[in-house]
Amino acid sequence: MDAALSTPPATDLRRLWPRRAISGSVLLVGGVLLGWWLFTQLGQPFDIDRWWNEWLPADPGPVGLVFGLVMNRIGGTWVGVFAIPIATAIALVLLRRPWAAGYFVVASAVSALAVQLIKGLVDRSRPEDILVTTDAGSYPSGHTANAATIAVVAVILFPRVWVLVAGVVWTLLMGLSRTVVHAHWASDTVGGMLIGAGVALIVAAMFTEQLERERTALLRRRS
């Protein structure tokens, strides 16, 4: 019984990592292809982008503005880029899950690098009525990519239905917040979701064996 808990069957691992790798690759390629399409169109917004941006009020009001500014702070700036990842990694280490901490840090870093690389290549202009200060390059949304990365990492590390639901809601709210303050076109947030989730799954595939062995070792200690 202990041996089974501490060492996942090889067949399970052989099935798990290809699923993560293939799923992540499909999502990442989807985000890259969307960026390529935008590049060929000189970054011009789609009709749905224009409709959504015009449907949202130029002045979101106090509630909408606070929502957008809070999410802007949490999802980006030093809070989202450094404070949250470092605090999360430390918490995972304290929970005796160092491989999980390493996975989270690597996935976050690779996701951020991928976003910046694609931003520079696509070079899409942001909406003119933007309400927050941000960097150049609209596609993809870095905030949304970061949210999607965190959501997928959370599900990989803590596979529960409520974690999945919370992750989906968190990612959608982040994407919505970026359009509420007119920092991004709607398609930018879709691209961010695809890239962030894709990177997290691909990195998870690379860490599959270590994460699963760490998880089963933790279950053994608790039992």
Listed residue (127, 147, 150, 149) closest to 137, CA to CA: 127
pLDDT at 102 over 50: yes
Encode pLDDT of 112-163 as tens digits: 999 999 999 999 999 988 988 787 889 999 999 999 999 999 999 999 999 9
Q: Please state, in angstroms and as integers, the Cα–Cα distance from residue 173 to each residue in 59, 138, 145, 168, following that order.
A: 18, 18, 12, 9
Average pLDDT over residues 187-192: 97
Interatomic CA distance for residues 77 and 96, integer angstroms:
29
pLDDT at 78 over 80: no
pLDDT at 11 over 90: no
| Confidence at residue 29, expressed as pLDDT on a 0 to 100 scale | 98
Interatomic CA distance for residues 10 and 48, integer angstroms:
47
Encode pLDDT of 27-65 as tens digits: 999 999 999 999 998 889 999 999 999 999 888 889 999
